[in-house]
Amino acid sequence: MAFVEKKLPADAPVAAKALNWVDSRFPLTKLWNDQWGNYYAPKNFNFWYIFGSLAMLVLVIQIVTGIFLVMHYKPDANLAFASVEYIMRDVPWGWLVRYMHSTGASAFFIIVYLHMTRALLYGSYRKPRELIWVFGFAIFLCLMGEAFMGYLLPWGQMSYWGAQVIVNLFGAIPFIGPDLSLWIRGDYVVSDATLNRFFAFHVIAIPLILLGLVAAHLIALHEVGSNNPDGIEVKENLGPDGHPVDSIPSHPYYSVHDIFGVTVFLVIFSAVVFFAPEMGGYFLEYNNFIPADSLKTPPHIAPTWYFTPFYSILRATTSEFLYVVMAGIVAYVSLVYLKSKLPGIVKAGIAVLGLLMIIGMMPFGLEAKFWGVVLFGSSVVILGALPWLDQSPAKSIRYRPDWHKYLLIVFGISFITLGYLGIQPPSPLFERISQVCTVIYFSFFLLMPWWSTMGTFKPVPKRVTFSAH
């Protein structure tokens, strides 16, 4: 195809000429129009739909502040803590950059959890958006890895011992566990080698993967179109212009919508950064303002708040609780055989897997610590299977039976409870509550193929419900 440059009038503005020069060599305007300018989105979006753009904003904040932090940070076990103090005390505005980065980490997870909540409410992971959810789930895994590795870098007491505890968990894996832990640490204990490899992954490897996944997430979203609070496919009802009749251009309508959300977020974000950056020890633990000491273990070691729901599941897995898990496996396999329409070979595979797990949980089998790691990992991985677990005839919670909403509320309460208990020192009462919440957490997902189809559903309208405001 021959190169063609659009002819503009001689008196055209310089900006228009420059843009035309770029467009003839790179599809800048086309990319803008395809991804946002002429991208049509359902007209009934509500406030739940601002969290995607907020996540992009926080990602930019984290990258920019991270670049400035790396300019002064020393990835050396003897210098790391002092370099962070140097940033806080001597680098001009260094304290602000550090607090923006640490607050941004917590803000990122708050926004992502709310973004995932919206997906649960309106079925945004359902067909044809399964791949969008898979990409989003991969982003969530990358964020967890990024946060964990970045957590070690200040080289404070909680950083050091938190990393020690989490890496040692891999040692519970049979046969390969000790070698795997050694490989992750790069030494027999968390040391300078661990700090250097975590720094490399935190600054280079994971951000590159994360940016690629974000791009894939957005491309997949704009390929199939956005979901909406009614869970209706607006592309099935096109107007004479070829665009869905129940959609509007993202720009300027949702540009203004998102700018308002960004403004509110920045006000809250700034208030936290300037007035409560530690957030009572939840965003920055007080023990992390003490240099790492391998000879002095803190009285209570806990990860940052955004990991604590899953950490609680790990702590709740005791040898006594394994009997409850075994009973649950027997009940679940029976339910699959009696009520599932899965092929016989799949049912047999589930039964064999359940039997192997029960044998492994026996007193003569693998220790409870290993099964704690299994449940810890499963509690995260099960989120990725959500598009195939939810079999509801209606995507949106609006048209499901009212008791589905109560189930979602109970799940949310149990998740928050697990998060709170993961921060608290262990006690017999908290252990029991954690175990109950763990059962609720897994039951919500594993029983979803059945409960999501039960009850009387409301009729789903042909067009989205919308009232001007």
Tokens representing residue 459 in the block = 């009729």
Count the alpha carbons within 13 Å of 345 in the hemisphere toward its beta carbon.
0
Instruction: Determine the Cα–Cα distance for residues 203 and 151; give it in Å rounded to an integer.
Output: 12
CA-only gyration radius of the chain, Å: 25
Phi/psi of residue 430, each to 5°?
-65, -35
Alpha helices by DSSP H, listed for 36-93, are 51-70, 80-89
Tokens representing residue 287 in the block = 């023990």
Instruction: Determine the Cα–Cα distance for residues 272 and 63; give it in Å rounded to an integer.
Output: 19
Alpha helices by DSSP H, listed for 72-93, are 80-89
- 251 carries a ligand binding annotation: no
Instruction: Determine the Cα–Cα distance for residues 197 and 206; give it in Å rounded to an integer.
Output: 12
- 257 carries a ligand binding annotation: no
Counting other chains too, the contacts that 5-12 makes at CB distance below 8 Å and 24 or more residues apart are: none
- 300 carries a ligand binding annotation: no
Element (H, E) at 247: strand 247-249
Nearest to 270 by CA among 63, 87, 52, 103: 103
Instruction: Determine the Cα–Cα distance for residues 148 and 187; give it in Å rounded to an integer.
Output: 18
Q: What are the angstrom distances between the C-alpha of 467 and each of 41, 44, 256?
A: 16, 8, 18
Of how many residues is the chain composed? 469
Coil, helix or strand at residue 126: coil
Coil, helix or strand at residue 409: helix
Query: What is the DSSP code (8-state) at residue 455?
Result: S
What is the DSSP code string of 239-283? Answer: -TTSSBTTEEEIIIIIHHHHHHHHHHHHHHHHHHHHH-TTGGGTS
> Around Cβ 316, how many Cβ atoms within 10 Å?
27
Residue 119 makes CB contacts below 8 A (sequence gap 6+) with 125, 133, 136, 386
Sign, CA dihedral 346-350-353-355, equals negative
- Which residues make up each annotated binding site for a ubiquinone? 222
- Which residues make up each annotated binding site? 101, 115, 202, 217, 222
- Which residues make up each annotated binding site for heme b? 101, 115, 202, 217
